[in-house]
Chains A and B, each alone.
Chain A
Amino acid sequence: KAGVTQTPRYLIKTRGQQVTLSCSPISGHRSVSWYQQTPGQGLQFLFEYFSETQRNKGNFPGRFSGRQFSNSRSEMNVSTLELGDSALYLCASSLSTSGGGELFFGEGSRLTVL
């Protein structure tokens, strides 16, 4: 069974640009979460989607948005990039429908903002 796939793996952007990251969950997993990982802050929750609905959102500005498609694939978008947005963005899928289940992480998309 294929794992969680994230694309692109690496990308470099400049301040003010926008970026879209993609995540394909494990087949059969309908819950997809996104996390931002930075050296100083660890893993910070961005949002979680289930059946195309956002069920929870973290404390990030409105520049961070996401969506989920009917095939459970998910995208997140960051607009008007800032230097502080440089991070590893991890997507995770879960078989659990009610929360509190194992998260299977992708390898991440490493974003560098210059």
Chain B
Amino acid sequence: GENVEQHPSTLSVQEGDSAVIKCTYSDSASNYFPWYKQELGKRPQLIIDIRSNVGEKKDQRIAVTLNKTAKHFSLHITETQPEDSAVYFCAASGSGGSNYKLTFGKGTLLTVNP
């Protein structure tokens, strides 16, 4: 089955700096890669996603890149703000029956220091 590795597990940056979180996946048939943000005590919420036919996607200060050959994808947050502090999860889902299942990384705790 699919396996998703996420690094780093914790990340601390100064306000205004950029933050990068990286994930690798094992199933070359995976074709959907979302990122979820979970603030302390809250539910996970989708912040951006990318499909395998796209190499990069941006939404204001957030961008995701996908390298299908290397089977890795990354989340980039620019001009970080204290409200970006949260746990970020990457995930992957495949084709066929695996399309109905998201495999998550173990999360990255991002702390943005004012």
> Which B3-57 residues sit within 8 Å CB-CB of chain A?
31-32, 34, 36, 42-46, 49, 51
Query: Would A44 and B32 be within 8 Å (CB), given that A56-B98, A99-B93, A100-B93 are in contact?
Result: no
Q: A58, B101: Cβ atoms under 8 Å?
A: yes
Contacts A43-B89, A103-B36, A103-B102 known; 4 new A-B pairs at CB < 8 A: A40-B106, A99-B93, A99-B100, A103-B44
List residues of A whose CB falls within 8 A of some B CB: 31, 33, 35, 40-45, 48, 50, 55-56, 58-59, 90, 98-100, 102-103, 105-108
16 contacts between A and B (CB under 8 A): A31-B100, A35-B104, A40-B106, A42-B106, A56-B100, A58-B101, A99-B93, A99-B99, A99-B100, A99-B101, A103-B44, A103-B102, A105-B44, A105-B45, A107-B43, A108-B43
List residues of B whose CB falls within 8 A of some A CB: 1, 31-32, 34, 36, 42-46, 49, 51, 89, 91, 93, 97-107
Q: B99, A98: Cβ atoms under 8 Å?
A: yes
Q: B100, A44: Cβ atoms under 8 Å?
A: no
Report the bound CA distance from A4 to B77 in whole Å.
28
Contact of B97 among A56, A100, A103, A105 (CB under 8 A): A56
Q: A42, B49: Cβ atoms under 8 Å?
A: no
Residues of A within 8 A of B1 (CB): 59
Q: A41, B106: Cβ atoms under 8 Å?
A: yes
Residues of A within 8 A of B34 (CB): 102-103
Query: Would A100 and B32 be within 8 Å (CB), given that A31-B100, A56-B98 are in contact?
Result: yes
Residues of B within 8 A of A48 (CB): 100-101
Report the bound CA distance from A9 to B24 in whole Å.
33
- Measured between C-beta atoms, what is the minimum distance from A58 to chain B in Å? 7
Residues of B within 8 A of A50 (CB): 100
Q: A42, B43: Cβ atoms under 8 Å?
A: no
Q: B31, A100: Cβ atoms under 8 Å?
A: yes
Q: B43, A55: Cβ atoms under 8 Å?
A: no
Residues of A within 8 A of B103 (CB): 45
- Across the two chains, which residue of chain B brings its CB closest to A49? B100
